Structure 1
Amino acid sequence: MMNDTHTVDVPITALTTSQRKRRQVMEAAARLFMAQGYGATSMDAIAREAGVSKATLYAYFQGKDALFAAIVGEACERHAEGRPCCLTDHEDDLAGALVALGEGYLSFLCREEVMAIQRVVLAEGSRFPELGRAFYESGPRRMIQWVAGWFAALQRQGRLRPGDPAVAAEQFLALQRGSTLMRRMLGVPPAPDAAEIRAVVAAAVETFLRAWGTGREQ
């Protein structure tokens, strides 16, 4: 889980001194990025908020873009830990595996701390190209590559139609997001609950399999 400073909860006793210091910096940066934006947050301010010297800060991160990428990457890594399980649990049921993957993906995107990161990128990405690049490389691109790799394996097994697996992955993920994510981004109530997410994902998977399924999904 992630705490209210938007970084991952790891028992303090499990971290080395260096890891604790790095986490301290990331938590401080996350607080400032979410409170005052990327552009208004300086490395000096992050060092002060974290209670470390600038030399220590730069020893861990070369710049704000690297720090922001680390925050995004850590959140995505925690989400990624559950992906193999959803595939293993539905090894002989492709539709079930796709639904499990989609539910986890959309639920993750709709979490408030993840929404906060995306809002920062949307608000300031045009002024700071490195921000959008760091976000995309650390988050969406990793997800597309992972799903594309799985889809390529399914194509070799004859369980998905031939075609560019990266295109299939992008289409699958876009179907999951639908209008649900847009409403969440804009703060349009109510926030989606588990039942709505399940229904959205089930419909998206049905549409995806009509385009890419082979009838050998089992």
Structure 2
Amino acid sequence: MNDTHTVDVPITALTTSQRKRRQVMEAAARLFMAQGYGATSMDAIAREAGVSKATLYAYFQGKDALFAAIVGEACERHAEGRPCCLTDHEDDLAGALVALGEGYLSFLCREEVMAIQRVVLAEGSRFPELGRAFYESGPRRMIQWVAGWFAALQRQGRLRPGDPAVAAEQFLALQRGSTLMRRMLGVPPAPDAAEIRAVVAAAVETFLRAWGTGREQ
């Protein structure tokens, strides 16, 4: 593994404690992506971050908590744009779904997000806490958020009745497929905006055939 992308978050206006926590997270991200989860020790993270072990453990109880924080922060940054998808397409459900899907698939295809997923896939079977931290901090959060939105749409009669969590999982799964698999495997070319737009448009059409009520507008 040689991808050393880190989570790029501005550090302006942060307190000393917040800056030190950011320092630790960025150091851990570099090591996780460069040498893997299993080969990265808390000692190495402390050295890379330039902090004591006591300081490191004051912020994170272990590697799984640190990895979860890295994943969770990346997802939170992505989540900041979700309300805009709904607001900008308040009366156009298909448009809102397309906007949400394009943002989601573009996020998954980002190099730093790919690097995180590769670490999990490569080492998750040997370190169950890694897979658990990733799932709880990333995919599970997204499913819950989308399910909450879908439940509201069902109450409005804009999606047919059913388990909103199932609908959310199906909607998100439709965005992935061969495009994401090709990106994960590094098979060129990398998906561009036009490909992502086409994949999402087809996914939304399929989803609305299954869950739509004819009141999408």
TM-score by length of 1: 0.97
Deviation digits for residues 176-204 of structure 1, max 9, x if unmatched? 01211111001111000000000000000
For 2:31 and 2:178, the matched residues in 1 are separated by: 29
**Structure 1 residue 13, shift from structure 2 partner:** 3.1
Change (3 A) 1:5 1:24: farther
Deviation digits for residues 146-170 of structure 1, max 9, x if unmatched? 0000000000000000000000000
Deviation digits for residues 99-126 of structure 1, max 9, x if unmatched? 0000000000000000000000000000
TM-score by length of 2: 0.97
Within-5 A mapping of 1:84-95 = 84-95=83-94
* Root mean square deviation of aligned Cα: 1.9
For 2:171 and 2:10, the matched residues in 1 are separated by: 35
Which residue number in structure 2 is paired with residue 115 of structure 1? Answer: 114
Bigger shift: residues 78-87 or 2-11: 2-11
Q: Is the 8 A contact 1:160 1:212 kept in 2?
A: yes
Bigger shift: residues 145-154 or 2-11: 2-11
Q: Is the 8 A contact 1:7 1:75 kept in 2?
A: no
Change (3 A) 1:12 1:4: farther
Which residue number in structure 2 is paired with residue 55 of structure 1? Answer: 54
Count of aligned positions: 217
1:12 partner SS = coil
For 2:111 and 2:70, the matched residues in 1 are separated by: 15
Report runs of 4+ in structure 1 exceeding 6 Å deviation: none
Q: Is the 8 A contact 2:5 2:29 kept in 1?
A: yes
Gapped runs of 5+ residues in structure 2? none
**Structure 1 residue 142, shift from structure 2 partner:** 0.1
**Structure 1 residue 11, shift from structure 2 partner:** 3.7
Q: Is the 8 A contact 1:5 1:27 kept in 2?
A: no
Q: Is the 8 A contact 2:5 2:111 kept in 1?
A: no
Q: Is the 8 A contact 2:183 2:190 kept in 1?
A: yes
Q: Is the 8 A contact 2:4 2:34 kept in 1?
A: no
For 1:56 and 1:3, the matched residues in 2 are separated by: 27
For 2:90 and 2:29, the matched residues in 1 are separated by: 38
For 1:183 and 1:214, the matched residues in 2 are separated by: 34
Q: Is the 8 A contact 1:32 1:41 kept in 2?
A: yes
**Structure 1 residue 9, shift from structure 2 partner:** 3.7
Q: Is the 8 A contact 2:7 2:74 kept in 1?
A: yes
Q: Is the 8 A contact 1:38 1:124 kept in 2?
A: yes
For 1:3 and 1:125, the matched residues in 2 are separated by: 18
Q: Is the 8 A contact 2:2 2:34 kept in 1?
A: no
Deviation digits for residues 45-76 of structure 1, max 9, x if unmatched? 00000000000000000000000000000000
1:215 partner SS = coil
Gapped runs of 5+ residues in structure 1? none
Q: Is the 8 A contact 2:3 2:33 kept in 1?
A: no
**Structure 1 residue 207, shift from structure 2 partner:** 0.2
2:177 partner SS = helix
